[in-house]
Amino acid sequence: MKKDFLSVLDFTTDEILASFELAKDMKKDRKKYSKALEGETLALIFEKPSLRTRTSFDVGIQQLGGYSLYLSPNEINLGKRESVYDVAKNLERMVQGVMIRTFGHDIVENFARYARIPIINGLTDYSHPCQAMADFLTILEHKGKFEGLKLCYVGDGNNVAHSLMDAGARLGVNVTVACPKGFEPNLIAFQEATEAAKATGAKIEVVHSPEEGVKGADVVYTDVWASMGQEAEAAKRRQIFMPFQVNAELMKHAKDDAIFMHCLPAHRGDEVTDEVIDAPYSVVFDEAENRLHAQKAIMYQLMKK
């Protein structure tokens, strides 16, 4: 039966944990999996620019023995130059998997509905599940466990926040989103995560005080205040979000051994200061590297015959 990865919630807790074990093994011994997806091709559809997603999927499929095919907006332009249905039905006959990085979440959902091959969500305006998988792999590496941990996400209740809530719900990590009023996570996303959290006992909550949110946190996480497509709002958002900047003073409210995370790219001096992102407790580059290993494991799980 075909399986896609459009949301962290598409994987059960056991499947996520198995993915992490696989990723750790791939990280330790790259050559062991050098023929795992030999001869398989992954199409990479990019409607949004990328550094980490492009590099990690491109390098990742090649390290597994497969090939990548980069398709830019000029070649695809989903739903405009050609319908999502037609693109899906064409590609399913030529490649063995598709990664899509786009705007509307409905695009990846429809693509998965139409295509008979695995579809991976490389990012939409609604969610960023591959990022969350890399994030929680990084947390596992640095904390050695999930049970009882608290992650506080500080900033806009965006796609990254949604996927962090999903991952916390599946893995029993308490997730607090600290955001200005009016910038809370999508209500449906919050409800989905809250429902999923019942199985693990994780607490998913939203607060409007960064100090309250960060208090006792094992992990402090932030993201840019204006995501792709919101550039026109950047100046206004900067005024609203400045009290939510992650700086050394805010980090004092977290646990003494807390780590700092950011999905990158970072706007230094806005959502995070240099003294935090460059601090010894910052794991942002471990996190970035783990995009490669986490996504290799996902590709293996979905595409391995």
How many whole angstroms separate alpha carbon 97 and alpha carbon 103? 19
Are 26 and 296 within 8 A, CB to CB?
yes
Arithmetic mean of pLDDT, 8-20: 98
For residues 144 and 199, state if they share a domain. Answer: yes
Picking from 68, 70, 69, 72, the residue whose alpha carbon sits closest to that of residue 48 is 72
Q: Does the pLDDT value for residue 2 go beyond 90?
A: no
Output the average pLDDT for the chain.
Answer: 96
CATH number at residue 183: 3.40.50.1370
Q: How many residues are given for the chain?
A: 305
For residues 220 and 277, state if they share a domain. Answer: yes
Instruction: Confirm whether 15 is domain-assigned.
Output: yes
Catalytic sites, residue numbers: 101, 128, 131, 223, 263, 291
Instruction: Confirm whether 19 is domain-assigned.
Output: yes
Question: Does the predicted TM-score (pTM) go above 0.85?
Answer: yes
Instruction: Confirm whether 2 is domain-assigned.
Output: no
Instruction: Confirm whether 26 is domain-assigned.
Output: yes
Question: What percent of the chain stands above pLDDT 70?
Answer: 98
Q: What is the pLDDT of residues 29-67, one digit of tens each?
A: 999 999 999 999 999 999 988 999 999 999 999 999 999
For residues 140 and 267, state if they share a domain. Answer: yes
Using pLDDT thresholds of 50, 70 and 90, give the confidence band for residue 193.
Answer: very high
Residue type, 156: D
Predicted confidence at residue 229, as pLDDT, reads: 66
For residues 94 and 30, state if they share a domain. Answer: yes
For residues 172 and 243, state if they share a domain. Answer: yes
Total domain count, the chain: 2
Arithmetic mean of pLDDT, 198-220: 98
For residues 178 and 236, state if they share a domain. Answer: yes
Instruction: Confirm whether 55 is domain-assigned.
Output: yes
For residues 280 and 171, state if they share a domain. Answer: yes
Q: How far is CA 17 from CA 131, 133, 278, in A?
A: 15, 10, 30
Q: What is the pLDDT of residues 141-167, one digit of tens each?
A: 999 999 999 999 999 999 999 999 999
Q: Does the pLDDT value for residue 263 go beyond 90?
A: yes
Arithmetic mean of pLDDT, 8-17: 98
Predicted confidence at residue 79, as pLDDT, reads: 66
For residues 62 and 142, state if they share a domain. Answer: no
219-222 and 150-154 strand pairing: parallel
For residues 140 and 276, state if they share a domain. Answer: yes
Q: Does the pLDDT value for residue 233 go beyond 90?
A: no
For residues 156 and 265, state if they share a domain. Answer: yes
Predicted confidence at residue 1, as pLDDT, reads: 72
Instruction: Confirm whether 153 is domain-assigned.
Output: yes
Decide: residue 31, CB within 10 A, 0-12 exposed, 13-18 middle, 19+ buried: exposed
Domain assignment of residue 85, given as a range: 8-128+289-303
Instruction: Confirm whether 196 is domain-assigned.
Output: yes
Q: Does the pLDDT value for residue 227 go beyond 90?
A: no
Instruction: Confirm whether 86 is domain-assigned.
Output: yes
Take residue 110 and report the two structure tokens written for it: 């429809």
How many whole angstroms separate alpha carbon 298 and alpha carbon 141? 18
